[in-house]
Amino acid sequence: MSKIPPYLKAGDTIGITAPSGFMAIEKLQACIDTLQNWGYTVKLGETTHSESQTYFSGTDEERASDLQDMLDDPEVKAILCARGGYGMSRIVDRLNFKRFRRHPKWVIGFSDITVLHAHILRQYDIATLHAPMGAAFNEGLDDNPYLASFRKAIEGEPLVYASPAHAQDRHGSVRGELVGGNLSLIAHLVGSDSDLKTKNRILFLEDIGEHLYAIDRMMLQLKRSGRLDRLKGLVVGGFTDCKDTERPFGATVEEIIRSHIETDRFPVCFGFPVSHEKENVALKIGVLHQLDVAPSGTTLKEVR
């Protein structure tokens, strides 16, 4: 069982850093205000107000140093990544997790932050949080169950989610540790020190802006590398803004994914609310979950 970091309480400090792509500080203001209104202290890393003129929020050295400071700072009880994009895999091997291992804290983010989630779980067996990042707070808090799930997760409330039935679902009930994230990043990590172990675990996947043939290729990478062998279950989230080629690939995203697991028997659900869009619930990676896929719909709940 993975080690679960302490949950947060009023007055705790949440550090915000941008270890990947650049994000203007103005786009973080709603996030900062919300966290403070929830009763937390916010500490901004140097990369959150970077003057970088490149895609990244700073050089590899600057981004690694900023994240390292957050990992090491005893006052920071959780680390929220401002955004994803690309860049985490350029710096993950520069990081020293010695203090973090002794005093774990929640690492929060998705997309490119999948690299950090996978690395921490693979190397140190510590739970992390796949959840909305800075820009999501610009969507507003009124009737926003996704930001509500973020708060529940960091404060230790058990998480329970339901999603409607889908024609491609495969029914069944299983229990296992939840792992996953962005498909392209999980495929990218195969063979590295951050490679995600999936055996006897529930895997969740999402992605954005990929060609259909690329999704097929990445699913093949997972299959050929054994990452789809002996899964407990598969949760398929949003695959948004997918593109086809001039000559059609000939299958939908759902059909592509099902084709690579057709001979397996584990339960599968499609259309789960984890994605690059607003529909993105907080999921605790490395934590035991119960997955029930039934004709009436899917339930995924944290097991205590």
CA atoms of 3 and 234, how far apart (whole Å): 23
Find the radius of gyration of the CA atoms of the chain. 18
Residue tagged active-site, from 111, 184, 194, 275:
111
CA atoms of 293 and 297, how far apart (whole Å): 6
- Compute the C-alpha angle 22/97/58, nearest 5°: 20
| Three-class SS state of 217 | helix
Q: Is 111 a residue of the active site? A: yes
Residue tagged active-site, from 206, 210, 275, 289:
206
CA atoms of 89 and 112, how far apart (whole Å): 8
Residue tagged active-site, from 119, 188, 260, 276:
276
Contact 97, 120 (CB under 8 A): yes
Token duo for residue 250: 């000939």
Q: Is 211 a residue of the active site? A: no
User: Alpha helix (H) ranges present in 48-168?
Assistant: 60-72, 88-91, 98-102, 114-124, 145-155
Q: Is 276 a residue of the active site? A: yes
Which residues are catalytically annotated? 111, 206, 276
